[in-house]
Structure 1
Amino acid sequence: MKLSTIQRWISPGRSIQGKIFIAFSAVTLVSIVSITVIVYMSMRETIMHNAVTSVSDSIRQADESLNMMLEEIDRLNTVVVTNKNTVIDTLLSPNEEISYEWFQEQKRIDEFLSVLIDYKPYITRIAVVGLNGKVYFSGGPWLDRTVLGSPMLDYMLQNGSRHAYFKQTGVSDAITVGREIRYNREPIGVVMVDLNYDFIQKTYGVKPTTDSMIYVLDMQGGFVYAAESAPSFAPSSDRIVGLNQELAGNGDAIKQVIDGRDYIVVSRRSGYTGWTTLALIPMDSLLSESARLRKLLAEVSVIVFVVVLIGSLQVSSRITLNIRRLKSLMMFVKEGNLTFPRKEIKGEDETGQLYRVFISMVEDLKRLMEGIRVSERAKREAELTALQAQIHPHFLYNSLNTIKYLAKMNGVPNIEEVSGSLIELMRGVLGNSSEFLTMREELDYVERYISIVKYRYMEPIRMVAQVEDDALLECRVLKLMLQPLVENAIIHGIGPLEREGLVLIRVCEEGGDLKIEVIDHGKGMTEGQKAALLGERGKSGNTSRFSGMGVRNVHERIVHLYGHSYGVKLYSEPGLYTKVEIRLPKLTECKGESEQEVI
């Protein structure tokens, strides 16, 4: 896969797949980093806790082991100081050296001491030192009268009422446990047992790390045990003594900065001896294992992140597959191809729903396009028909003009008048596309109509127009509004009487409206005839070639335009007259109407 393709996919501003990929990657990265940090911190705390627990348990076990040995030694000392026949009597005996009695005493006490320390490898020597200069011991090293007056003996005499512990240094290190020998409440000597120092080293030689250090200090601050092969950065003895005084053996594990280095310090005070055990664990050494764990976690996190990236790329690709298909179909339609190969998207999710809606929209668009094509074809046919309709009136006008000229040349004025009136009437009807005319133009049309129709009757028919104000002649009225009414008056009112007829047209203003009356003195109408006349629906074409609309049609046109307050009313008396009253709003201009167009 090309790098440019991957970059296009993961571009967050260009594709949904890229946004999904970035979102998956971001969430995964945050999750992995968070989990890794939490696991590392937890493991680090666990390592520290385990180290502290291990050291604390080791110190406790070491103290308990040492206490058991010291308790055993105390019991031996008790046996010695309470033995009168062998120990006390020998110390109080007046026998001098090199005598037989002294030899017997020496042999007896040596055997007694030897029996006490047999099979006890942690004891190197047991000695009974009398204040009178008698010295008896079993084990090693050698002991003689030089011990009298030594600091160790003085310490034992001062603190040995129960038991005293003294750390020897020199040729061989040892822990000496001593106790006074008293008789008659007076001290007569000391019994001392040396504890093998190797056992102490083995007991306290526990290290959670190679750089760890363990110290055992007595109640006077002296070192009972110090870690061997201490690292170069180990604190000084004075710093250890000061630290011991600060902690006072409270048994807690604390973090302490010593000489610029971080340590975990664990302290414990023995309830039997009063000694304090200090364990110093360097933090950097303790956490070296956590560093290896951190590296392992980082490597695993990188591997998991790469796997998730690859997986998210595949998942986002499958999720957006249908979206890309739908996009390709939309681009195909955008280019004008409404018929395209179907790539069925059968999913029930939002993408599948969008696909079905899109297909429905394309089908609707195809139907609309087909309808537009049909409409355009009908429009072209209508334009052709209109063009043909324009040719027919021209031909008719030319023909009527020819008849008019022939009548004039042959001296037939009636034919000339009828032809001229017909020409003007058709010019107004067919040549003017506006729905409105002036009152003056409407009266001219009526006059032309009467000049044509009067020749059908033997008796003359006259039209009289009475206009209240000449300004009313410029009011706008509906086109061919009066002609159907005049036609109805002549045909149904005046014509059947076969006598001279009169049609009176009155135009006046009443209540701010325009009122027009068409009156004839014909035979009149009954109420039923009036109702029937108003009930006509454009069927007046059966009685007139020109009107094409009846009284009812005129009434409906007025009501449709101006409302029910306006329209046509009929007044008639049979045998006397008929009056048609038209009420219109007084309009001097009509916006939106084109001017009269003359062909």
Structure 2
Amino acid sequence: MKLTSVRKWISPAGSIQGKIFVAFSLVTLIGISAVTSIVYLYMRETVKNNAITSVMESIRQADESLNIRLEEVSRLNTVVATNKTVLDTLESKTEEPSYEWFQEQKRIEEFLSALIAYKPYISRAAVIGLNGKVFFVGAPWLDKTVLHTPMMEDLLQNGSGHAYFHQTGFNNSIVTGRELRYNRQLIGLVMFDLNDEFIKRIYDVKPTSDSMLYVVDRKNEFIYEPQSSVLKKEQVTQLNQELSGTHGAVEKVIDQKSYLVVTRESDSTGWSTVAFVPMKSLLTETARIRNVLATVAIIVFMIIVIGTLQVSSRITRNIRRLRSMMMHVMEGNMTLPAVEIRSKDEIGQLYQVFKSMVDELKRLLEGIVATEKEKREAELAVLQAQIRPHFLYNTLNTVKYLAKLNGVPNIVEVSESLIELMRGVLGNTNEFLTLQEELQYVRSYVTIEKYKYVKPILVNIEVEHEGLLQVSVLKLMLQPLVENAIVHGLSSAEHEGVMRVRIYKEHNELRIEVRDNGKGMSQEQIDALFEVNKVQAYTRFSGMGVRNVHERIVRLFGEPYGVFVYSEPDSYTMVLIRFPLLPGTDAIHQEG
């Protein structure tokens, strides 16, 4: 790339291209640096946590493996401590040497040999009596001089359950023992030795080649320590005392070297396992990853810088073209220049939007007359929609007057009822009205229906007191129930149909019962009244039915209000409306 080309690409700082280049470069640099740092720190912490988890799991498995063996030994101790032959032998008066003593020794040694058979981790099993009798199998040799050793004193002092003793020196092993009692009297001790090689195999855990692991008992004596150790015993024991009783990991600097120290204390033995993992060895892989991340970040940054130069130059060129077109349109010329912006980026999309906007502006200017014409036609249609109900009322009134002139009272009555009903449905836009008005719609509807079926329909309306007539109810709340009773109850009944509408107040509720002596309904038919897909089969008037009334009431006032249907086939049907007693006239409070 030539220097002159670079200078041509890089515009002055005040230009859009310069601002885009600087902004993109800074954002990219900050973003790459942040991402690289976060990834490195996350990977470093992940490696560290994985090492902690691995070491903790290895220590836990080692402790569990040792605990399993110690539990087996504890069971063997219990077997010996409860064996009658062993106890009787220790209490017997036989002396060495004698035939009886040799017999006793043979029985005890055979018993102990059977116990430790196929248990290679046990190097010796022994039964020691306080009277000087000593029986054992395995190595090393054991005689009555053991009674006066510190090991014996420690085991007798702590061996009421189980006791552990680390024996050092030529015979490096772990001794576990338990007291032997006869008639609640201390008579001796049983003990098993776990060989040192078994302990080394269990705790030979190394997450890295230079890591070190120590096992320290409660007396700060080393149960296990690595063959090559760069740490002094005093440093290990001091750190073990500082971290006593804890489970976890900490970073410590020892002799100017950073270590990850992982500790765990065994619940069974009380021994502490301390692992030292050098942080330098642990994070060797993360250092290599850090260098790779830095190299990749630099390469990506250079690629983005070069791409930013190219993109900023192209974006700037198209912006200049778009600005020239806008100035051209601003002068009143609606014809765009022949040069088009064909890019698919945001500037290209902005050009397409601007081009569409110019075309739309031309179309709008040309369509103003048509829009005004459509507006006048819409206003005329609204006026006609307002005129139609009035025209319908006037037509029905004309029919009524003609019926009066011709002496046809039935048509007069039906016309008046229809006019009243249509005014309630089309003319009254309020959602609520008084109960008296609702009853008037019901009477008008019944008047029309009795001529439809050409037989009398007896409707008895009973109101508990006059004040309830002024209570506010939902519009067309009662009429669909009366319709349902007439259409599906009384119209198909063989006997004379009677409908009773009872209105009363109970528990501060307005209750309306619509009861007929028609053919009744089955439970399936009752359920169908409240189902969306079946309700059309049981309703006729204006698409409103029992389900519609129920949902309107529940939606406005919630449970327990609504419509409830009770019926017996070939007997009766009773529909109950439970409605809140909304505020009305003073007569409600006086008479209620």
TM-score category (smaller protein) = 0.5 to 0.7
What is the Cα deviation at residue 15 of structure 1?
Answer: 6.0
2:245 aligned counterpart, secondary structure: coil
| Aligned equivalent of 2:341 | 346
**1:90 and 2:89 are equivalent in the alignment:** yes
CA displacement, residues 218-263 of structure 1 (integer Å, 9 cap, x when unaligned): 2222222223322x3x2x2222222222222222323333343333
| Aligned equivalent of 2:118 | 119
Determine the C-alpha separation between the residues in 2 that align with 1:346 and 1:105: 111
| Aligned equivalent of 2:267 | 271
What is the Cα deviation at residue 186 of structure 1?
Answer: 3.2
| Aligned equivalent of 2:567 | none
1:224 aligned counterpart, secondary structure: strand
What is the Cα deviation at residue 116 of structure 1?
Answer: 0.4
Letter in 1 for 2:306: I
Letter in 2 for 1:57: E
What is the Cα deviation at residue 11 of structure 1?
Answer: 5.8
| Aligned equivalent of 2:79 | 79
Any residues of structure 2 matched to 1:151-550 within 5 Å, and which? 151-230=150-229, 232=230, 234=231, 236-322=232-318, 344-346=339-341
Letter in 2 for 1:192: M
Is the 1:55–1:266 contact (alpha carbons within 8 Å) kept by the matching residues of 2?
yes
Distance 1:84 1:36, change over 3 A: same
Is the 1:166–1:175 contact (alpha carbons within 8 Å) kept by the matching residues of 2?
yes
Determine the C-alpha separation between the residues in 2 that align with 1:169 and 1:58: 26
What is the Cα deviation at residue 108 of structure 1?
Answer: 1.2
| Aligned equivalent of 2:559 | none
Letter in 1 for 2:185: E
Determine the C-alpha separation between the residues in 2 that align with 1:204 and 1:106: 37
| Aligned equivalent of 1:440 | none
Letter in 2 for 1:280: F
Determine the C-alpha separation between the residues in 1 that align with 2:146 and 2:175: 13
What is the Cα deviation at residue 138 of structure 1?
Answer: 1.7
1:272 aligned counterpart, secondary structure: coil
What is the Cα deviation at residue 80 of structure 1?
Answer: 1.0
What is the Cα deviation at residue 175 of structure 1?
Answer: 0.8
What is the Cα deviation at residue 345 of structure 1?
Answer: 4.6
TM-score, normalised with respect to structure 1: 0.52
Determine the C-alpha separation between the residues in 2 that align with 1:113 and 1:300: 69
CA displacement, residues 294-315 of structure 1 (integer Å, 9 cap, x when unaligned): 1221122223223323332332
TM-score, normalised with respect to structure 2: 0.52
Determine the C-alpha separation between the residues in 2 that align with 1:111 and 1:176: 21
Determine the C-alpha separation between the residues in 1 that align with 2:254 and 2:265: 21
Is the 1:166–1:177 contact (alpha carbons within 8 Å) kept by the matching residues of 2?
yes
| Aligned equivalent of 2:512 | none
Determine the C-alpha separation between the residues in 2 that align with 1:139 and 1:19: 88
| Aligned equivalent of 1:377 | none
Is the 1:123–1:196 contact (alpha carbons within 8 Å) kept by the matching residues of 2?
yes
Determine the C-alpha separation between the residues in 1 that align with 2:105 and 2:176: 23
What is the Cα deviation at residue 12 of structure 1?
Answer: 4.8
Letter in 2 for 1:227: P
Determine the C-alpha separation between the residues in 2 that align with 1:249 and 1:286: 26
Any residues of structure 2 matched to 1:35-74 within 5 Å, and which? 35-74=35-74
Determine the C-alpha separation between the residues in 1 that align with 2:122 and 2:12: 81
Q: How many residues align?
A: 339
Determine the C-alpha separation between the residues in 2 that align with 1:249 and 1:351: 69
Q: Unpaired segments of 5 or more residues in structure 1?
A: 329-341, 357-599
Is the 2:318–2:341 contact (alpha carbons within 8 Å) kept by the matching residues of 1?
no
Distance 1:93 1:29, change over 3 A: same
Letter in 2 for 1:166: F
Determine the C-alpha separation between the residues in 1 that align with 2:295 and 2:278: 27
Determine the C-alpha separation between the residues in 2 that align with 1:41 and 1:184: 67
CA displacement, residues 507-543 of structure 1 (integer Å, 9 cap, x when unaligned): xxxxxxxxxxxxxxxxxxxxxxxxxxxxxxxxxxxxx
CA displacement, residues 179-212 of structure 1 (integer Å, 9 cap, x when unaligned): 1222233332221111132232222222333333
What is the Cα deviation at residue 92 of structure 1?
Answer: 2.9
Is the 1:9–1:15 contact (alpha carbons within 8 Å) kept by the matching residues of 2?
no
1:281 aligned counterpart, secondary structure: strand
Letter in 1 for 2:269: T
Is the 1:323–1:351 contact (alpha carbons within 8 Å) kept by the matching residues of 2?
no
Is the 1:174–1:195 contact (alpha carbons within 8 Å) kept by the matching residues of 2?
yes
Determine the C-alpha separation between the residues in 1 that align with 2:136 and 2:29: 76
Letter in 2 for 1:195: L
Pick which of 276-285 and 175-184 moved more: 276-285
Distance 1:145 1:39, change over 3 A: same
CA displacement, residues 268-325 of structure 1 (integer Å, 9 cap, x when unaligned): 2222212222223332232222212212211222232233233323323432344688
Letter in 2 for 1:149: H
Distance 1:198 1:214, change over 3 A: same
Is the 1:10–1:22 contact (alpha carbons within 8 Å) kept by the matching residues of 2?
no
Any residues of structure 2 matched to 1:124-163 within 5 Å, and which? 124-163=123-162
Determine the C-alpha separation between the residues in 2 that align with 1:253 and 1:48: 10
Determine the C-alpha separation between the residues in 2 that align with 1:246 and 1:14: 64
**1:20 and 2:20 are equivalent in the alignment:** yes
Determine the C-alpha separation between the residues in 2 that align with 1:206 and 1:191: 32
Letter in 2 for 1:241: T
Letter in 1 for 2:67: N
1:271 aligned counterpart, secondary structure: coil
Is the 1:181–1:187 contact (alpha carbons within 8 Å) kept by the matching residues of 2?
yes
**1:102 and 2:101 are equivalent in the alignment:** yes
Determine the C-alpha separation between the residues in 2 that align with 1:10 and 1:124: 85
Is the 1:125–1:193 contact (alpha carbons within 8 Å) kept by the matching residues of 2?
yes
